[in-house]
Every structure is written in structure tokens, then in C-alpha cells.
Amino acid sequence: MKIFRTKVELQQELSGIRQENKVITLVPTMGALHEGHLSLINYAKPLTDVTVCSIFVNPTQFNDPKDLEKYPRPIENDIALLESVDCDILFMPSVEEMYPENDPEWHIDLGDLDKIWEGEHRPGHFQGVTQIVYKLFNLVKPNQACFGQKDFQQVMVIQRMVDIKKLNIKLLICPIIRSDKGLALSSRNARLSAEGKENALTLIKSLTYIKDHFGKKTIPDLLKAAEEIIASNPAVELEYLSICETKTLAPAMNIDPSKDYVALITAWVEGVRLIDNILLSH
């Protein structure tokens, strides 16, 4: 695996690859890698010639400076993990490299997508996400980019940005990777105790209930029952739970057979904010 820290070095490497008409896939990450991240690279491998993974803890998408400070950065372990799945290129820039002085202001009209759910609870977060992803897209110029379904709203936001900017980049959405018991893998899980991880399974229990009864019960009844599952565990503090249309993430009132739906949940366990979702079929 080749490792680059500057834009110039990375572009020199990629220009030669592009001249050979090879398919380039970008996997953007913030490091602290786990099986979920590695699944993105394994998912992309059969569909690409060259896999580029970026590790960059992006300051513009954190609302809380303490959260940014606490974000884990186990770089030696990350490199070893990427080598274990035969990643081709790792790009690890500094903050100064990605945000030089006099960097232009960034704003993109995401409609309601950055005002609801994660957008409401983390103001400015998706502006920061789209800002760094757009920078990486312009730099790497990939044919496709791989993102995890776990951050479902983020994928929809990036798709909106791709559409607005008319980028010729295909988004690959990789299914959620879970522990044996069903907990969605996340870098934040490292901050949970063994008991906390058990309590966190309440999230997938509530989502599974919705999936199993979707189309058989009304949406208000589904949400009420799922909220009762969460309320039965005092160690879990619900932030939001909703059944939404996949594209707009607008809350659904009833089921339209022509649309696709997703159940979204965010809850707190042991002071750790956990997000999860499940795709619903009818």
C-alpha cells in the first residue's frame, strides 16, 4: 500500500493510473477503522481497479470541539488493517493540507436534508461533510465512492451534492456490518463498557420490530411499539426514532407502494451517541 500525505504526491500517482483508464474507487474515512470500514474496501474491491482510502478527521463537521479532541486516532493500527485487506493507496493529509489559508467559504443548498434528524441535532455537520467530500472528490476524481449504509442520512446528503455539482461519480452503498448480536459497528462503540454494548442492542431490537411488522401495522402503531421497547430499558435514552422515505428522509405518515422507506434511530448509552437504521420493504 502506498501512503501519501500531500495533494501533489497523490495527484501525481493518480494521474498515471487515470491514463491507463483504470477504475478508481474512493473510500473516505476519519480513521479509527473497524470491520465496518474494511467491509467498504472489500465491497469495492471486485468493482474497481484501484482503491484509495482517505483518513482525515475533518474539523468542520464537529459541532463540539471536545468531540473532535476525543476522536480516536490509532494510526498504526489503521494502516495495518488497510494492508490486511489489500488497500492500494492511503491518503493521510494534515488539516493545513485540506484547509489552506484563505480557503473559500462553503455552503450548499441541501434543502431539508441538513435541517432534519442529524441535521437538526448537529447544526452545520452536513455542510462540513459535503465540504470535505467535495474536496476529496475533486482531488481523487474517482469513478465511484463507497459509503456505509449506517450513516444513511449522510449518504443521501452526498448524493444530493453529487447531483447539484453534476459530478460523474457513482455512490456505492455498503450494508451495515453488525456484531454477532446485532450491534452496528462504530468507532464510538469502543467507549462503551460490556454492559453498555448489551444495552445498545435495544436499538436494533426496536428497528427489527419495525421491519418485521412493516406493512402489517400503521406507522404510528409501529413507532409507538418500538418506542416502548426502548423505554423498557432505562439505560437507553432515545433522541429520535422515525420511519422516513429514503430520498427525502421526510417522516412517513402512511405507506406508498411506489416509495422506499427506512427506519432511523439515534439514542444515548453511557454518554455515547449511537445511530442505526434499517431498510424497510413492503
One-letter-per-residue 3-state SS of 160-219? HHHHHHCCCCEEEEECCCECCCCCECCHHHHHCCHHHHHHHHHHHHHHHHHHHHECCECH
In the DSSP assignment, the letter for residue 223 is: H
Confidence band (pLDDT; 50, 70, 90) for 195?
A: very high
Residue 276 and residue 150 in contact, taking contact as beta carbons nearer than 8 Å: yes
Confidence of residue 149 (pLDDT cuts 50, 70, 90): very high
Q: What's the mean pLDDT in 124-145?
A: 97
* Topology match between the domains 2-174 and 187-280: no
- Confidence check: pLDDT of 282 > 80: no
> Mind telling me the catalytic residues?
37
Within 8 A by CB and 6+ apart from 190, the residues are 32, 72
Q: What is the pTM of this model?
A: 0.92
Domain parsing of the chain, residue ranges: 2-174, 187-280
* pLDDT tens digits for range 53-102: 999 999 999 888 888 888 889 999 999 999 999 999 999 999 999 999 99
Residue 63 has a pLDDT of: 83
Q: Yes or no: say if 160 and 110 are a contact pair by the CB < 8 Å rule.
A: yes
Question: Does the pLDDT at position 235 exceed 80?
Answer: yes
Q: Just give the CATH number of 2-174.
A: 3.40.50.620
Q: Is the dihedral of CA 41, 47, 48, 49 positive or negative?
A: positive
**pLDDT value of position 187:** 81
* Separation CA 144–CA 159 (nearest Å): 12
Closest C-alpha among 211, 201, 268 to residue 240: 268
C-alpha 99/C-alpha 128 separation (Å) is 12
Fold of the 187-280 domain: Pantoate--beta-alanine Ligase; Chain: A,domain 2 (3.30.1300)
Q: Give CA angle at 76 (74, 82), nearest 5°.
A: 100
Taking residues 176-193, report their average pLDDT. Answer: 93
Summarize pLDDT for 245-279 with one digit per residue, the tens. 998 999 999 999 999 999 999 999 999 999 999 99
Stronger pLDDT, 138 or 188, i.e. the higher one:
138
Residue carrying C-alpha cell 418485521: 212
CA distances from 98 to 66, 70, 84, 167 (A): 21, 21, 27, 20
Q: What is the pLDDT of residue 151?
A: 94
List all residues 6 or more positions away from 273 whose beta carbon is below 8 Å from its beta carbon. Answer: 188, 239, 266, 267
